[in-house]
């Protein structure tokens, strides 16, 4: 049976050098994911890798089928998700080449399908502490152990894409005190929590956004790709180290248990009061 306990959103660089990688196609109620899921074993842990933008990076951020990607992980049994991403800096002290382990997000996207809970039972998942503190601590320790500059906290503002920010937008985000800007963390991370999976983000800083805070040139896709490729080897090592260090008891993270307080129908409960994914998945 195809199963995994840890999921990683990332390209082929994460699994291309691993042995005995199996490619599986996963069907979901929301259509196809971005690509096949690649299953492997790392340090005795069963891991699922999914290229967020497709293996050839052909799907732009605003066209990603986030629900299908997240559902695919959960259907395989994943309980913890590592979600690295390329990101721009909004503050001068957050330098390109450093990593940020974000603890908050701000949603500036529009029109994205961003919930599994469309009724008939109203459900509200709190994102107040979206990113799991235990996984964040593991990420910070592994990044630091690899000699990479790391910011232990940060707010990522998620924009719609594919365009970058104007200078006025970037200045506004900067003045709010937010550190990081990206195009994919919402709704990806939030949807993980809706399905009871713990999630951690590592933002790989590639640039200074529109450049207004650092006196640099505005960001370009070419520059983002260049720096991201330089970071590829480093983030691969960090992710593989994290997989080895993540606690064995993933249920103790409490992501699934937190769903118990999310229903909008008061304290009424019965054996029939279950979520759609609980009828299909094995926890």
The residues assigned a catalytic role are 207, 209
Structure tokens at 80: 């913890």
Which residue is it, tokens 């994919």? 184
Closest CA to 85 of 219, 172, 181: 181
Identify whether the C-beta of residue 83 lies closer than 8 Å to the C-beta of residue 42.
no
Angle at 264 between CA 279 and CA 192, to 5 degrees: 50
Which residues, at least 6 apart from 217, have a Cβ–Cβ distance to it below 8 Å? 211
Identify whether the C-beta of residue 61 lies closer than 8 Å to the C-beta of residue 86.
no
Structure tokens at 104: 């908050």
């Amino acid at each position: 049976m195809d199963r995994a306990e840890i999921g990683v959103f990332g390209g082929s660089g994460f699994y291309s050098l691993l042995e005995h990688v199996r490619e599986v196609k996963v069907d979901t109620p929301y259509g196809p994911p971005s690509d096949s899921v690649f299953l492997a074993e790392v340090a005795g842990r069963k891991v699922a890798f999914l290229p967020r933008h497709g293996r050839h990076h052909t799907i732009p951020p605003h066209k990603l089928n986030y629900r299908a990607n997240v559902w695919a992980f959960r259907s395989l049994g994943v309980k913890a998700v590592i979600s690295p991403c390329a990101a721009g800096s909004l503050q001068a002290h957050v330098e390109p080449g450093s990593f940020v382990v974000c603890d908050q997000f701000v949603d500036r996207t529009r029109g994205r399908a961003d919930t599994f809970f469309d009724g008939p039972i109203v459900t509200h998942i709190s994102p107040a502490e979206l990113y799991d503190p235990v996984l964040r601590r593991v990420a910070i320790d592994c990044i630091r152990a690899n000699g990479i500059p790391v910011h232990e906290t940060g707010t990522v503002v998620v924009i719609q894409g594919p365009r970058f920010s104007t200078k006025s937008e970037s200045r506004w985000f900067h003045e709010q005190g937010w550190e990081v800007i990206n195009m994919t963390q919402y709704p990806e991370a939030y949807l993980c929590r809706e399905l009871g999976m713990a999630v951690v983000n590592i933002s790989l800083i590639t640039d200074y956004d529109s450049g207004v805070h650092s006196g640099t040139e505005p960001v370009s896709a070419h520059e983002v790709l260049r720096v991201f490729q330089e970071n590829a080897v480093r983030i691969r090592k960090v992710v593989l180290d994290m997989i080895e260090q993540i606690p064995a008891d993933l249920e103790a993270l409490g992501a699934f248990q937190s769903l118990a307080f999310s229903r909008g129908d008061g304290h009424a409960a019965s054996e029939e009061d279950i979520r759609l994914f609980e009828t299909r998945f094995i926890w």
